[in-house]
Amino acid sequence: MDGEPVIVKRVNSSFIGTDLQSWLRAAAIQTVVICGATTNHCIETNARMAGNLGFDAWLVRDATWTFDCVGPDGDIHSAEEIHAMTLANLHGEFARIVRTADVVEALEPGRE
């Protein structure tokens, strides 16, 4: 939308080399909602950093995705397996794992 800030990142984290953190702090934003691709790369990095920086990070499980991956041992790991493990790794310590419906409900008028 017109007038909205645009953050252009060059590495996995939206917080590295950008003014995202200072912009969020200046706007008194405490909760960040994280969605996009890929779950085990940029999404995970942003969730960990947001959590470490003291933000209430909401990772939207049904609005993130990843690819199948071949591990160093040659085993193929499915996208579903990688996605689930990433969510398990982040849950509680770095992010609140939510669904799109949870975010929509939290945004309803009259909710704090």
Domains of the chain, residue spans: 29-106
Q: Which helix (H) or strand (E) holds 59?
A: strand 56-65
**Fold of the CATH domain 29-106:** Rossmann fold (3.40.50)
| CA separation, residue 79 to residues 2, 82, 84 (Å) | 35, 5, 8
Q: Tell me, what's the pLDDT at 3?
A: 84
Query: Distance between CA 86 and CA 63 in Å, rounded?
Result: 14
pLDDT in tens, 51-108: 999 999 999 999 999 999 999 999 999 999 999 999 999 999 999 999 999 999 999 8
Q: Tell me, what's the pLDDT at 39?
A: 96
Asked if pLDDT for residue 112 goes beyond 70, the answer is: no
- Do 9 and 49 touch, CB atoms closer than 8 A? no
Per the structure block, which two tokens stand in for 12?
A: 């996995």
pLDDT in tens, 31-53: 999 999 999 999 999 999 999 99
SS3 39: helix
Q: Tell me, what's the pLDDT at 109?
A: 83
Per the structure block, which two tokens stand in for 78?
A: 């499915």
Tokens 């003014």 appear where?
19
Residue 23: pLDDT band with limits 50, 70, 90: very high
